[in-house]
Structures are given as C-alpha cells and as structure tokens.
Amino acid sequence: MTIRDLYGASRSGPFVLAGPCVIESREITLRTATALAAVASRLALPLVFKSSFDKANRTAVTSFRGPGMEEGLAILAEVKDETGLPIVTDIHSPEQAARVAEVADVLQIPAFLCRQTDLLVAAAKTGCIVNIKKGQFLAPWDMKNAVDKVRASGNEHIWLTERGSTYGYNNLVVDMRAIPEMRKFDVPVIFDATHSVQLPGGLGAASGGQREYVPVLASAAVAAGADGIFLETHPDPDTALCDGPNSLPLDRVELLLRRLKAIWELADA
C-alpha cells in the first residue's frame, strides 16, 4: 500500500502531519520522529513526519534556517528508514522539486508561495502528493486556482492546509468556515494548529506564538470537518531554533491526538 492509498483524495480516515519546524540536528530529528512513530502506532493514526531542511521565509536574516537541502534530505531519509514514517517537507523553488521527491512522499508549498505557478507545476510533475498551505492573504475559495494548477499538470494528489488569516498587525485569526469551503474542491483539508496560533513578527526579529490555544483550535477544526491535523512539535520548544512559541511540547502530543481521535470518531458516528 502506498502513501497515496492511505492519504489520497478518497479521505480514507484522519491523519496527522507532525514534527519539528526545522531540522536542527540529526539527534533531535530522530528522537522526535521515533517518539511520534510510537504515538501513531499506539493510537492507530497514520502520521507523516514533517521537518524543513530550509526555512527560507524567516523573519530576520540572522534567523536559523536549517542545514540545507543535501544534509537535510540525508537526515529525513534516515528518519524514513528508521521509523517507516512517510515524509513531508517544504520546497521553495521549482529546481528543488525533483531532488526532494527522491526522499519526500509529500511536497509542501509554503503559504507565502501558494500562488507561484512554476513551483506548483514542478511539484505536481514529481507525482508526489502536493500539500498547498493556504496563504494568510487569501480567501479559502481562492485556493481553487492553486488546486487547478496542480490538476492541470496531471496530478490529482492534492492536500490543502488552513493556517489562519492575517488579522491586523502581528496576528492571525482562523475562520473555521474555510475547512468546509476548501473541501468543496474534493481534496483532503488539513488544519495547521500550530502556525494558526503564531504571532507573525510578534517578537520583532522573530515570530511569537500562543501555543496554549493549539488544543482549542485543533479540536474545533476536527469538529468542523478537517481531514488531518498539522502540528509542529519539539522536545523543548522554549529552546527551539524556529517557531518555538507556537510549537507543542513533544510530551503533550499523544494527549492531544487522543482527544482529536475521539472527536473524529464522534463526527463520523
């Protein structure tokens, strides 16, 4: 069975994307992946491991971006071999798509790049699932254009991810109506519970966040019909090199996923 059988447009059941925002080290990445694989096994929830080899849209030029593509892909390949988990990671330019597809099962299009036609087409042509994060600046129905670009390139394996909308300065708000709106495109819709509590640029040279609201918004999104949940998690978010303020502590992931699984089961009853 392939990842497309498990997570394709048929919506065979709820699933999770989780991992550290960025690859900080081999040790932290493997430690987190091993823990998440164990949680996914205990809960019988399909889980895709997420971490970025490069965060090209950090707030400041001095911000940590990751190890780069070659070293990062080597670590992600090791995660895949060691845990059996499929992999999702960001790409930022069309030239990265084919190389990253050699390791990743899902190519993620960052929210700020969701309208970049060449990037969407290159991702589509790899045959991987393409997870397009909705831009903070777009209405949910505007994402049909991004979906159409991937489909026109011969790829039907598409996910959309809701991650909040810009609301004034340094703040985001989530409109749960976006989830059923984007499901109208006949693609699975994922809710990004950790970036949705981000405070973009809220710390001046870095983004802040309100991780205490992650369980609240994740629960609401599942009840609203989200097919999957996206969580950034770290063994010690307060020392994380990227997105720590909005990341969920690794030791709290299982409790939240148990809660979300119960809601999914009630919603399907």
Query: In this predicted model, which residue has the larger pLDDT, 242 or 165?
Result: 165
Instruction: Calculate the alpha carbon distances from 219 to 32, 136, 191, 224, 253 in Å.
Output: 23, 21, 10, 9, 13
Q: Over pLDDT 90: what percentage of the chain?
A: 82
Q: What is the pLDDT of residues 156-189, one digit of tens each?
A: 999 999 999 999 998 999 999 999 999 999 999 9
In the block, residue with structure tokens 């994402």? 143
Whole-prediction pTM: 0.93
CATH 3.40.50.300 fits 3-268, yes or no: no
User: Which range (58-67, 112-121, 136-145, 168-177) has the least confidence?
Assistant: 58-67
What lies within 8 Å, CB to CB, of 7 at 6+ separation is: 15, 46, 48, 106, 129, 159, 188, 228
Tokens of 60: 């400041």
| pLDDT higher than threshold 50 for residue 219 | yes
57 band by pLDDT with thresholds 50, 70 and 90 = confident
Whether 40 and 241 have beta carbons less than 8 Å apart is answered as no
Q: What Rg value do the Cα atoms of the chain yield, rounded?
A: 17
Q: What is the pLDDT of residues 111-125, one digit of tens each?
A: 999 999 999 999 999
- What is residue 203's predicted lDDT score, i.e. its pLDDT? 65
- Read off the amino acid at residue 248: L
- What is residue 10's predicted lDDT score, i.e. its pLDDT? 45
Query: In this predicted model, which residue has the larger pLDDT, 242 or 152?
Result: 152
| pLDDT higher than threshold 90 for residue 70 | yes
What span, in angstroms and rounded, lies between the C-alpha atoms of 26 and 200?
A: 27
147 band by pLDDT with thresholds 50, 70 and 90 = very high
- What is residue 204's predicted lDDT score, i.e. its pLDDT? 63
Give the distance between the most distant pair of CA atoms in the chain: 50
Q: What mean pLDDT comes out for the span 46-64?
A: 87
Sequence ranges of the domains in the chain: 3-268
- What is residue 206's predicted lDDT score, i.e. its pLDDT? 61
2 band by pLDDT with thresholds 50, 70 and 90 = low
229 band by pLDDT with thresholds 50, 70 and 90 = very high
